[in-house]
């Protein structure tokens, strides 16, 4: 099993400072029951869900350097009388910033609507109204079309097989092979009794 220090050569580790718009002073991350899901961190617009709230982000280069500190369990002081004991020590730095903004989602039902009406088939207008970011709309349409075509193909295959079965059923005589097997087993059971 690989440790964190042994990353594969094609993977790169990068420290990023994440800034959430509208979460200043919020202690959502101090909650013991924090639910944090991240999607597409390696894309241009990653999405995070924090306790049921959705955020979409964009990467930027910082106008300086963000420094990270961690708790220092063994602080060292040069002058015990005049120096204040530090509680933190330097951990790392980064120049990469991920700015997250709150986005609102709508249930899928509102996008697709009632499947009985052709006007409810997703298009760029319905995706925009549903809150799908413009840069994801094209991919969403491709995905929806692929799923729709796959389902239609499965349905057509099923209907063809069903039609063939019905034709065979109507053409078969009452004494088909399956009926003979059932009749034969019934005769054997009656002889044993």
**Residue 110: pLDDT band with limits 50, 70, 90:** very low
Q: What is the pLDDT of residues 137-189, one digit of tens each?
A: 888 888 888 888 888 888 889 899 989 988 888 887 555 455 444 444 445 54
The answer to whether residue 188 is domain-embedded is: no
The answer to whether residue 187 is domain-embedded is: no
Boundary residue ending a domain (47, 79, 103): 103
The answer to whether residue 175 is domain-embedded is: no
- Shared domain check, 138 and 94: no
Boundary residue ending a domain (77, 103, 129): 103
Residue 112 token pair: 């697709």
Angle at 117 between CA 115 and CA 121, to 5 degrees: 65
The answer to whether residue 177 is domain-embedded is: no
- Shared domain check, 122 and 54: no
**Residue 21: pLDDT band with limits 50, 70, 90:** confident
- Shared domain check, 40 and 78: yes
Domain extent for 42? 17-103
Q: d(Cα 169, Cα 163) in Å, to the nearest integer?
A: 10
Higher local confidence (pLDDT), 123 or 113: 123
The answer to whether residue 185 is domain-embedded is: no
Q: What is the pLDDT of residues 25-37, one digit of tens each?
A: 667 677 778 888 8
CB-CB contact of 66 with 17 (8 Å) = yes
Q: Name which of 88, 92, 89 is nearest 15 in CA terms.
A: 92
- Number of CB atoms found within 10 A of residue 102's CB: 13
The confidence score (pLDDT) of residue 170 equals: 84
């Amino acid at each position: 099993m690989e440790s964190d220090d042994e990353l594969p050569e094609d993977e790169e580790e990068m420290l990023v400072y994440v800034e959430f718009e509208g979460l200043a002073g919020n202690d959502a991350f101090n909650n013991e029951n924090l639910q944090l899901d991240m999607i597409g961190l390696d894309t241009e617009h990653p999405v995070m869900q924090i306790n049921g709230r959705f955020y979409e982000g964009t990467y930027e280069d910082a106008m300086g350097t963000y420094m990270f500190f961690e708790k220092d369990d063994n602080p060292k002081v040069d002058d015990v009388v005049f120096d204040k004991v530090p509680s933190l020590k330097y951990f790392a730095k980064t120049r990469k910033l991920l700015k997250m903004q709150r986005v609102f989602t709508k249930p899928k039902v509102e996008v697709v609507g009632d499947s009985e009406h052709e006007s409810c088939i997703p298009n760029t207008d319905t995706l925009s109204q549903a809150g799908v970011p413009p840069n994801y709309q094209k991919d969403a349409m491709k995905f929806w079309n692929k799923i729709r075509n796959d389902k239609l193909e499965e349905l057509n295959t099923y209907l063809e097989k069903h039609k063939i079965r019905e034709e065979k059923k109507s053409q078969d005589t009452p004494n088909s092979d399956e009926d003979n097997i059932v009749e034969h087993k019934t005769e054997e059971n009656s002889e044993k009794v």
